Amino acid sequence: MYIMAKSKNANKENDNADARSPWKEEEDVVLVEELKIAKKAGKQAQNGWLKKVWTDCEERMKKDFPDHPKSAVQCQEHFNSTLKKNFKAVYALVTKGSGWGWDPVRKHVTATDEEHPDRLEVVGDTDVDQGNTTDIEQESPRTQTLVQTPVPSRKRTRAPSETPEPFSSASCAPKSRGNAEAGDNVADAIRGLYSVMKDEPPASVMALSTPERRKAAVELMEEDGELSETEEVLALQLFSHHKEAADTFLSTKKKTLRTAYLQAELYN
């Protein structure tokens, strides 16, 4: 009896350890890739993903990462609690942050030197325990120049004839190229996550509390940027006194339609 009880406790501890196992970047990439496949197959319901999607994700993770498998519940929780949260933070930084932008060639966030000079400084971290410097410190001057060079405008578009200047084999150490490949994987994951989330129905936030939905409606209104400052003030008052208006605005997927609805409410 003692041996059986001990065995059950050991299995329970192993299950808890698996549940706490951290997600790696390559696992995030595979998860997003599987969700993109599910989306193309029409497995995204009005209120979220179909249950089978997470089962398919579980099977894919077991196949690609047999040593660290993830359950369907883990895949769902990781997407909802971590990937979506991180994506929204990066998306807000790229689209709403003053002076910020995204360089599709170098695949990293940029900022103008006039507005955020301190953001462009490359700070090398040091591993005190191992005595090793970070990869940034080991990169060549050519690589650091590309990282530090500010982009004049985040709205600049590259002409079709332009091509990014390739790195020469002499300017990049093998480890730097490995880091660049890892950065490409992360960038691909972000783009994939955007393609998965951009059409996700707003109804998925209806499970939030009233204050949280009101906050989400305000953030969506600010992100749309279709109203004047006076109209935004009136909209804040409307959301504060009529939660139904906030819910209707938040649940309307088409931006032009929800903007027209809000203006109709303001001037009715």
CA angle 138, 124, 126 (to 5 degrees): 90
Residues with Cβ within 8 Å of residue 22, at least 6 apart in sequence: none
- 57 within a domain of the structure (yes/no): no
In a domain, 15, yes or no: no
Q: Do 187 and 206 belong together in one domain?
A: no
Q: For 183-200, what is the mean pLDDT?
A: 59
Q: Which domain holds residue 227?
A: 202-267
Long-range contacts of the stretch 139-143 (C-beta < 8 A, 24+): 139/172, 139/173, 139/176, 140/171, 140/172, 140/173, 140/176, 142/167, 142/168, 142/171, 142/172, 143/167, 143/171, 143/172, 143/176
CA distance 30 to 8: 32
Q: How many domains does the chain have?
A: 2
CA angle 84, 30, 105 (to 5 degrees): 75
86 dihedral zone (left: phi>0; alpha: psi -120 to 50; beta): alpha
238 shares its domain with 150: no
pLDDT over 90 for what percent of the chain? 12
Domain match, 234 and 253 both: yes
Q: Considering the domain boundaries, does residue 52 fall inside one?
A: no
Mean pLDDT of 90-118: 63
19 has a pLDDT exceeding 80? no
Least confident of 30-39, 68-77, 187-196, 199-208: 199-208
Is residue 101 domain-shared with residue 192, that is, in the same domain? yes
- Three-state helix/strand/coil letters over 233-257: HHHHHHHHHCHHHHHHHHHCCCHHH
Answer yes or no: is 184 within a domain.
Answer: yes
**Does residue 189 belong to any structural domain of this protein?**
yes
Q: Are 224 and 259 in contact (CB under 8 A)?
A: yes
Residue 240 CA: distances (Å) to CA of 91, 212, 252? 26, 12, 18
Structural tokens at position 175? 């480890």
SS3 string, 105-130, reads: CCCEEEECCCCCHHHHCCCCCEECCC
Residue 246 domain flag:
yes
Contacts of the segment 218-222: beta carbons below 8 A, 24+ positions apart: 220/249, 220/250, 220/258, 221/249, 221/262, 222/96
The DSSP output letter for 206 is T
Please check whether residues 178 and 206 belong to one and the same domain. no
Q: Is residue 208 part of a domain?
A: yes
pLDDT digit string, tens, across residues 122-159: 444 444 444 444 444 444 444 444 445 455 555 455 55
Domain assignment present for residue 262? The answer is yes
Domain co-membership, 122 together with 187: yes
Domain boundary among 197, 212, 246: 197
Global pTM reads 0.37
Handedness of CA 240, 245, 249, 250 (dihedral sign): positive
Q: Are residues 132 and 186 in the same domain?
A: yes
Note whether 180 and 213 are same-domain residues. no
Amino acid at the residue 83: L
Q: Are residues 211 and 190 in the same domain?
A: no
Handedness of CA 223, 226, 228, 232 (dihedral sign): negative
For residues 149 and 116, membership in a common domain is answered with: yes
pLDDT of residue 2: 44
Same domain? For 101 and 193 the reply is: yes
What residues have CB less than 8 Å from 234, skipping those under 6 apart? 266
pLDDT in tens, 23-49: 988 999 999 999 989 888 888 766 678
How far is it, in rounded angstroms, from Cα 196 to Cα 92?
A: 17
Question: Tens digits of per-residue pLDDT, 150-185?
Answer: 555 554 555 554 544 444 444 444 444 555 555 566
The model's pLDDT over 200-225, given as tens digits with 9 standing for 90+, comes to: 544 455 567 788 888 888 988 998 89
Do 103 and 186 lie in a common domain? yes
